[in-house]
A and B are shown apart, each in its own frame.
Chain A
Amino acid sequence: MSSIKVKLKEQDLNKIKEICKSFNNEEGELINVLHKTQEHFGYLPAEIQEVVAQELNMSVAKVYGVVTFYSFFTMLPKGKFPISICTGTACYVRGADNVLQEFKRQLGIEVGETSEDGKYSLSCLRCVGACGLAPVVLVGDKTYGRVSAEGVKEILAEYQDK
């Protein structure tokens, strides 16, 4: 998994340390620590993982192992408007793949990538449980239901000038 180089500021370092401390710097709390850290920074680059490893007194390899194991954790920053396409079974049988292809085409990025201007990122998720609205697309926290490939343009238009 590739990662971008970041330089952590003093305050960032302190924030990570503070999060680790709130979980008593316990190794067993690693996943909770990572959740909180990602919530704050938006993603978990290698530099952040190094600090977490140091604070919890464990190897960076172990932290990296956990970060890459779980799909919720990401080492790449998300776009300003993260787009997630549900590819759960219910959405799949109602044509989620066509919707995904259309997003890829319109944005010119693949799943897991962020557009060059940092505006959009594209990801897939497995079932948000709104199967009655399948196929479902999330942009940030906003849910769009019964999306068709033709509807993709309309959704993107909403964010064009934002």
Chain B
Amino acid sequence: MTKYKMYLLVCGGTGCRASASDSIVENLKQELETKGLQDEVQVLMTGCFGFCEKGPIVKVQPDNTFYTQVKPEDCAEIIEEHIVKGRKVNRLLYEDPENKKHIEDSKHMNFYKKQIRIALRNCGFIDPENVDEYIARDGYSALGKCLSELTPKDVVDQIKESGLRGRGGGGFPTGLKWEIAAKNEADQKYVVCNADEGDPGAFMDRSILEGDPHAVLEAMAICGYSMGATKGLIYIRAEYPLAIKRLKIALEQAREYGLLGTDILGTGFEFDIEIRYGAGAFVCGEETSLIHSMEGLRGEPTIKPPYPAEKGYLGKPTNVNNVETYANITAIINKGANWFNKIGTEKSKGTKVFALAGKINNVGLIEVPMGTTLREVIFEIGGGIKDGKKFKAVQTGGPSGGCLTEKHLDTPIDFDNLLAAGSMMGSGGMIVMDEDNCMVATAKFYLDFTVEESCGKCSPCRIGNKRLYELLDRITQGKAEMEDLQRLRNMCYVIKDTSLCGLGQTSPNPILSTLDNFWDEYVAHITDHKCPAGQCKDLMKYEVVEENCVGCTACARVCPVGAISGDKKQTHYIDPAICIKCGACEERCKFDAIIVK
């Protein structure tokens, strides 16, 4: 890697690739070749930088220049100005929203200032398709250390001492899980990586696999060593083609280097990994469902115990951890459990990756120490709410989590605090909502998801969630009565108490938390037949304001269903029985003569 003087790192995450980062790489390479600089400057496609809002990103090393929203046609200018003449292309630099100054070095961006990157340490720094770059950043040294210096028990003890808890949602202590799996004797054991990231709005696991696949492979091998397993399986969503491709490349390279296979690093230790494909079922994030799916069956959960650590894949002891959990392992082995457990809060150690999305200025992937407050995440790192609107709620934990409000903003984020606030950590999706989002509709959105994803095995989840959805639907249509709110709450508790697996046990959370935090909004739908956020279509009514209407007929012409009548230069009328509330007329009207009630 020493022969190049400069590096142009181009983000190759799914978001940036969707905005043509492939052609950016091509154009940059071509421009370098025409200038004869291809041996001086290397162009690399890396994993996600995290700052998806302003993608595609091009970063210049070693000076850390951070170009945002780069288009393929900008490449010539970057090469000509920055590389040849040494002048930064100002118009592509990130502009500080507060003082409108261009920021040259990404270290000074608010987005990155408060972040500590452990799980994402290599994302955006290395070429994920080249094992040498991973090795150059201490890759596979943790595995080497385990195999040559530590006993399997030492490894388990280190992980236990680090205080690492499962990042997939539950927060179960990882070391303890490993210990149980290690103690169960069997002729064959399995190490499983759960990469079935089904939580909508969370994309950290995918970004890790796309940006640093070897970190997961190495950690799985370490886990195999600690529990006495020789086989690993990665269960990944088929919807993640890029992550799958990079994993396959990583597996091949690791085998070629003798980092997987028989006799790893000449120590006699044997371990290899296979990929298994998910096929789009949210419930498969649950351990027992995931195992059934890997066995080729319907991904339905079974009662625990027996836990997978006793009887898992093919009835053998199996350890299942999530991608982000594994991504922390090598850092813990390399830097020590005591380094790791000094980061974070008393009961939640280390960092957590969050996918910030929704109505927030800086959509992206961030990693912060446990204990960071929601306010810091949303307003400092996230840059506040889009279009200067008012913050209303943040949803954490996906369909199993809840909506937190203004009063929770100063709560330090960790597993226990989020649970106490009526939400949960989940896999780390964080969806920010503003005043235009209706919380009843949001709860309905999540229930729609749950109803679709419920596997149907146990009736509380299969039937109960459907009933919850119907109640919410009635509320959003203005057809519910006040008693329905009590019915809603009671049913939530029954479903939580009686469902078989985590899906049903947590699915009422979005309703309960919005009932607690946004009671008035529910009441407004029921008693006033109004949606305060103006989102619920059935409660909207488009009307013409007589004084403003000049009779230009623009609205009547744009109406797709012919609901607007009126002669030229006469006041128009919207027939509420025909109107489908598409809003096209309101958008078209130049005279503010159409309002929503």
Chain A interface residues (CB < 8 Å from chain B): 26-32, 34-35, 65-66, 69-73, 87-90, 92-94, 101, 105, 125-134, 136, 143, 145, 149-150
Which of B240, B437, B449, B560 meets A105, CB within 8 Å?
B560
CA distance A122 to B299 in the complex (A): 25
Confirm or deny: B460 has a beta carbon within 8 angstroms of a beta carbon on chain A: no
* 5 smallest beta-carbon distances between A and B, as pairs: A132-B52, A88-B200, A129-B203, A70-B279, A90-B357
With A89-B358, A90-B358, A132-B364 as given contacts, are A28 and B202 in contact (CB-CB < 8 Å)?
no
Q: Other CB < 8 Å A-B pairs besides A69-B299, A70-B299, 20 of them?
A: A29-B296, A30-B296, A31-B277, A31-B279, A66-B297, A70-B279, A72-B239, A72-B278, A90-B201, A90-B431, A101-B582, A127-B200, A129-B203, A130-B18, A131-B363, A132-B55, A132-B364, A133-B18, A136-B18, A145-B15
CA distance A36 to B239 in the complex (A): 14
Confirm or deny: B455 has a beta carbon within 8 angstroms of a beta carbon on chain A: yes
B200 touches A90 (CB 8 A): yes
CA distance A71 to B299 in the complex (A): 12
Which of B207, B279, B281, B395 meets A89, CB within 8 Å?
B395
CA distance A81 to B276 in the complex (A): 28
Chain B residues, Cβ within 8 Å of A34 = 279
A-B pairs with beta carbons under 8 Å apart, 23 shown: A26-B296, A35-B277, A66-B297, A70-B278, A70-B279, A70-B280, A70-B281, A73-B279, A89-B357, A89-B429, A89-B431, A94-B358, A105-B560, A126-B200, A126-B449, A129-B15, A129-B206, A131-B15, A132-B357, A132-B364, A136-B18, A145-B19, A150-B587
In chain B between 441 and 457, which residues have their CB closer than 8 angstroms to a CB of chain A?
Answer: 442, 445-446, 449, 452, 455
Chain A facing B: main interface SS: helix
Chain B residues, Cβ within 8 Å of A27 = 296
Chain A residues, Cβ within 8 Å of B586 = none
B359 touches A93 (CB 8 A): yes
Confirm or deny: B104 has a beta carbon within 8 angstroms of a beta carbon on chain A: no
Which of B52, B201, B239, B276 meets A125, CB within 8 Å?
B239
CA distance A128 to B201 in the complex (A): 8
A93 touches B277 (CB 8 A): no
Write the chain A residue with the least CB distance to B314.
A28
Chain B residues, Cβ within 8 Å of A94 = 358-359
Write the chain A residue with the least CB distance to B297.
A66
CA distance A94 to B280 in the complex (A): 23
CA distance A136 to B452 in the complex (A): 21
Confirm or deny: B330 has a beta carbon within 8 angstroms of a beta carbon on chain A: no
In chain B between 267 and 287, which residues have their CB closer than 8 angstroms to a CB of chain A?
Answer: 276-282
A131 touches B238 (CB 8 A): no
B296 touches A71 (CB 8 A): no
With A34-B279, A127-B200, A131-B203 as given contacts, are A89 and B359 in contact (CB-CB < 8 Å)?
no
CA distance A128 to B18 in the complex (A): 10
